[in-house]
Copies of this chain bind each other. A is one copy, B any other.
Amino acid sequence: MLDTGVAADAVRDSPQRPRPALRAVLVGLVLVVVPLALIVPLLGLGPDGGDSPASAAPASAADPFARLLVALPVVLAACYLAGRLARRAGQPEVIGEIVAGVLLGPSLLGLLWPAGFAWLFPPAVVTAVNTLAQLGLIFFMYLVGTEMNLDSVRRRGLVAATVSQVNLALPALCGIALALGMYPSFGEGVGFVPFGLFLAVAMSVTAFPVLARILADRGLTETPLGALALTCAAIGDVVAWCVLTVVTALARNGDPSAVIVTIALTLAFVAAMVFAVRPLLARLLSGLTPAATLPILLGGVMLSALATNEIGIHPIFGAFLFGVIAPRALPSVTEASHRMQSVTVTLLLPLFFVYTGLHTRFGLIGTDARRWAWCALIVAVAVLSKWGGTAVAARLTGTDWRESLSLGALMNCRGLTELVVLNIGLQLGVISPTVFSMLVIMTLVSTIATGPGLSLVARLRRAPA
């Protein structure tokens, strides 16, 4: 609608320059006045508020939208800077963003500066952040769905299938073993079956998008190793999500017959989407501009998410499925998805990390040495089971040791996908906030260790045999 055509001659930009002396005075005035204008009212809102003078300070202290206008840029800035730091350390930006989001929560900011944390995230802002985070998650899962390449999965055949099954089986079994150990202390309020299955899923997940980014960064995407890793991650994720569907159905319904109904509805929904909605969508969208396509895609994502929510599983499954069936052959769809991606990834995903962070309380683990011991055990089990399981599976199919170890390092990258899984578990009540925090730590450690782990194996490769 803003494509007016007058923007063409907006490119030439010639500001008028007042005389130098006048300009200097203006600049000096501005450098004094404007910071004061910003700081004085903010002090009135600040953590030490109450002593502030009754100035011409506007009613922003009671204005939730103004508080949101403070919180959002802070989140953006923190994630942006952390992303740049991560890049400097040879990691993908998303790792820095995840860490920044978590640290803005009660785990660090809340511990070090509780008043500042409470001021930055009053209840109205938390509500807005949650809404935006959930929306962003849905759009993000749609985008992940659009990038899911099932053809390449089909083509890799036996090797990928074998590796991915073992790649999943070992961490899953270790997860169930962990659950057996943890359930007495941490399993209040939830049945053992969903708890155990959930830990199995949490151990086995690999973050497909983050992995893809790490491979792209290191130029490995087109190598056999990279392609194999992506394929295994894709297969593994699909299986893990299926199991998570069962966990969700169990947790939300409890009654086994209701669970079976939910599974049946899910399968019916998948079939409906693949066989009925997909061709209809392709017909509907063919010939439309990207501008006309975008509202249809947005509406479709939300309705699919609503459908899976109503069926009894999480909204993100519907969003993901819609992404898979969206007619990616149409350039208008690709363009519209691309436009959705910018705002989602830039503004909404950091809010999802903050949303995760707001529910993460390292303080819950506190000073309890037993809990930290469990935490350390979780991390160790997660890393070793993934690394070991993947490496062994790859070796069994004839890949050499070093490639197998590299693959294991890569598959440890749990990143963003794991956080999505963990949030589902927390929302459903399958895991407690304490276990959630421990698993977030595990996610951070295993994701941060991916790049360096890969470099370590590469160095081993260069060492004399």
Q: Is the CB of A9 within 8 A of B149?
A: yes
Q: Is the CB of A73 within 8 A of B303?
A: yes
Interface residues of A in 252-278 (CB under 8 A from B): 252-253, 255, 258, 261-262, 264-265, 268-269, 271-272, 274-276, 278
Q: Does A108 lie at the interface of the complex (its beta carbon under 8 Å from any beta carbon of B)?
A: no
Q: Is the CB of B309 within 8 A of A341?
A: no
Interface residues of A in 13-52 (CB under 8 A from B): 13-15, 23, 26-27, 29-31, 33-34, 37-38, 41-42
Query: Contact partner of A302 among B72, B209, B268, B345, CB < 8 A?
Result: B72
Number of identical protomers: 2
Q: Is the CB of B329 within 8 A of A11?
A: yes
> How many whole Å from A249's CB to the nearest CB in chain B?
9
Q: In whole angstroms, what is the CA distance A304 to B28 when docked?
A: 20
Q: Is the CB of B30 within 8 A of A276?
A: yes
Residue of B nearest to A138 (CB): B69
Residue of B nearest to A312 (CB): B58
Q: In whole angstroms, what is the CA distance A342 to B296 when docked?
A: 13
Chain B residues within an 8 Å CB radius of A306: 66, 69-70, 73
Chain B residues within an 8 Å CB radius of A23: 275
- How many residues of A sit at the interface, in one of the four size bands? 35 or more
Q: In whole angstroms, what is the CA distance A170 to B146 when docked?
A: 55
Q: Does A305 lie at the interface of the complex (its beta carbon under 8 Å from any beta carbon of B)?
A: yes
Q: Is the CB of B13 within 8 A of A327?
A: yes
Query: Contact partner of A309 among B12, B58, B221, CB < 8 A?
Result: B58
Query: Contact partner of A12 among B37, B94, B151, B272, CB < 8 A?
Result: B151
Q: Is the CB of A274 within 8 A of B15?
A: yes
Q: Does A339 lie at the interface of the complex (its beta carbon under 8 Å from any beta carbon of B)?
A: yes
Q: Is the CB of B295 within 8 A of A262?
A: no
**Which residues of A approach B to under 8 Å, CB–CB?**
1-7, 9-15, 23, 26-27, 29-31, 33-34, 37-38, 41-42, 56, 58-60, 63, 65-66, 68-70, 72-73, 76-77, 79-80, 92-94, 127-128, 131-132, 134-135, 138, 143-144, 146-149, 151-152, 209-210, 212-213, 215-216, 221-222, 230, 252-253, 255, 258, 261-262, 264-265, 268-269, 271-272, 274-276, 278, 290-291, 294-296, 298-299, 302-303, 305-307, 309-312, 315, 327-329, 336, 339-343, 345-347, 349
Q: Show 22 residue pairs from A and B whose CB-CB distance is below 8 angstroms, ordered by the A residue.
A: A1-B210, A3-B216, A6-B149, A7-B149, A15-B274, A15-B278, A26-B275, A31-B272, A33-B268, A34-B269, A37-B307, A37-B311, A56-B262, A58-B309, A58-B310, A58-B311, A73-B298, A127-B127, A294-B342, A294-B343, A295-B347, A342-B343
